[in-house]
């Protein structure tokens, strides 16, 4: 019973990450199809981001081994990093301003930050449990 109770939040987190990652993938795929594919350097990166995110999202519905969690974190962090670079120094000379294109930019940030937070929850709980173990008296 306890095991089942513990597994439920873990499953919810896993599905939550998968949904966020899938949303990020759909946003990047939509932007790729409707114009970004023509931008040198940026087009292939959007395609990789879209297909990678959707692939890992599908696999996360089956299980969540470390390699998948790592992949999910790398994809979301990479997307957020790319977004930050494109608003500052540029990526391959490509620069955008603010939350454009709207609403895709905002949706993408929200789901990617959410995915990172969900991915960070299990390690944080595990670290907390290690720091304060329950000692039998």
Partner 1 sequence: MTAPRDPADNPDDAQRRPGGMSRRQLLRHGAWFGGAVVLTVAGGEVISHIGGAPAAALADDPNALRFVQISDSHIGFHGPANLDVTGSFARAITQVNSLDLAPDFVMHTGDLTHLSAAAQFDQVKQMLGGLRTGKVFTVPGEHDSVDDHGQKYRATFGAGSRGDGWYSFDIKGVHVIALVNTLALEKLGHLGVDQLDFIQRDVASLSSDTPIVVFSHIPLFAMYPAWGWGTDDATQALSYLRRFSSVTCLNGHVHQLFSKTEGNVTFYSATTTAYPLPHPGQAAAPAPLTLPAGQLGDALGIRDVTYQPGQHALAVRDRKLT
Stretch that binds partner 1, among 3-11, 100-108, 110-118, 120-128 (CB under 8 A): 100-108
Burial of 121 (0-12, 13-18, 19+ CB in 10 A): middle
The Cα 13–Cα 15 span in angstroms is 5
The answer to whether residues 54 and 29 touch, using CB atoms and an 8 Å cutoff, is yes
Q: Which of residues 53-92 bind partner 1 (CB under 8 A)?
A: 54-56, 58-59, 63, 65-68, 71, 90
Q: Which of 116, 10, 11, 15 is nearest to 72 (CA)?
A: 116
Q: Which is nearer to partner 1, 35 or 81 (CB)?
A: 35
Q: What share of the chain is helix, strand, coil (3-state, %, to 5)?
A: 75, 0, 25
Work out which of 15, 16, 77, 94 binds partner 1, going by CB under 8 A. 94
As measured in angstroms, the least distance from the Cβ of 96 to partner 1 is 5
Q: Which of residues 5-44 bind partner 1 (CB under 8 A)?
A: 25, 29, 32-40, 42
Residues that bind partner 1 (CB under 8 A): 25, 29, 32-40, 42, 47-48, 50-52, 54-56, 58-59, 63, 65-68, 71, 90, 93-97, 100-102
């Amino acid at each position: 019973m306890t095991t089942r109770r513990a597994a439920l939040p873990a499953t919810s987190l896993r599905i939550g990450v998968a949904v966020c990652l899938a949303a990020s993938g759909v946003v990047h795929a939509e932007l790729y199809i409707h114009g970004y594919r023509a931008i040198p350097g940026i087009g292939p990166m959007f395609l990789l981001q879209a297909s990678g995110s959707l692939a890992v999202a599908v696999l996360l519905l089956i299980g969540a081994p470390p390699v998948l969690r790592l992949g999910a974190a790398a994809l979301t962090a990479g997307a957020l990093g790319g977004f930050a670079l494109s608003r500052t120094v540029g990526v391959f000379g490509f620069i955008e301003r603010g939350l454009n294109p709207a609403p895709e930019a905002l949706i993408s940030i929200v789901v990617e930050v959410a995915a990172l937070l969900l991915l960070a929850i299990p390690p944080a709980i595990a670290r907390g449990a290690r720091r304060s173990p329950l000692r039998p008296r």
